[in-house]
Amino acid sequence: MSLNGRVAVVTGGSRGIGRAIATTLAAQGAAVAVWDLNADGADETVAAIRAAGGTAIACSGDASDRATIAASAARTRQELGQVTILVNNAGISGFEPFLSITEESWNRMMTINLKGPFLCTQELLPDMLAAHWGRVINISSSSAQTGAPAMGHYAASKGGVIGFTKALAMEYAPAGITVNNVPPGFVDTPMLRESPVDVDDHATTTPMRRAGKPEDIAHAVAYLASDEAGYVTGQTISVNGGRYLV
């Protein structure tokens, strides 16, 4: 697979899954814009890409704010070119018993996890329409597939991402644009390590007896971004070590 000549945006690319996706797409030949609120982390990802011989820039800002998204998109187009690959990876998690979830907590989860992909896709889709080729890959969650206690707001937001993926896939298939989503399942990331889950203990209860790696998700994303996946759209590509079977 080759992504030579493609320009990709990866939101939330400063660490974990986002960083793995950005470096993997760059290794396949794409020029990558790393968008993240964490400017230092985004710079570190870009430095790793450049050290490996790739092309990348970092754009600092909130991927759920329309003005910031527009500014990042303008800089990306100016420095790298028109964007034809978008990976909506930026997101937050949270564990709260349902009756303890406040309206503010619910709204924040929906703003970052669901409104963010909507705004980023709306900004960059015209580039893909002009190119008659495009890839939108949304990072959802296996928690939306299985349900998860104390994660009602998170599971709902990621379930929305799955529905959003299917709707856009149907609407833009005639234009040569594919839209798919990857729901990670129990992947060892800084976000998971910061949660109340005992990662190493829980890993022993999974079918593969190990946690996933960010690179496991990144390779699935790279496939969906490629020409080889041109007839794949509207799909949920579960990368979860057997946690959820469809």
CATH superfamily of 7-229: NAD(P)-binding Rossmann-like Domain (3.40.50.720)
Domain ranges in the chain are 7-229
The DSSP string of 197-231 is S-HHHHHTTSTTSS-B-HHHHHHHHHHHHSGGGTT
Can you tell me the distance from the alpha carbon of 69 to that of 60, in angstroms, rounded to the nearest whole number?
10
pLDDT in tens, 42-84: 999 999 999 999 999 999 999 999 999 999 999 999 999 999 9
Task: Give the range among 13-17, 191-195, 224-228, 239-243 with minimum mean pLDDT.
Answer: 191-195
pTM (predicted TM-score): 0.95
Can you tell me the distance from the alpha carbon of 173 to that of 163, in angstroms, rounded to the nearest whole number?
16
Return the sign of the alpha-carbon dihedral for residues 133, 177, 19, 9: positive
**203 pLDDT exceeds 80?**
no
Cα 65 to chain centroid distance, Å, stands at 17
Bridge partner residues of 66 (DSSP) = none
Which residue out of 154, 172, 231, 244 is catalytically annotated?
154
- In degrees and rounded to multiples of 5, residue 173 shows phi and psi of -55, -40
Q: Do β-strands 31-36 and 85-88 pair in parallel, antiparallel, or remain unpaired?
A: unpaired
154 is catalytic: yes
**What is the reported pLDDT for 202?**
66
**What is the reported pLDDT for 210?**
85
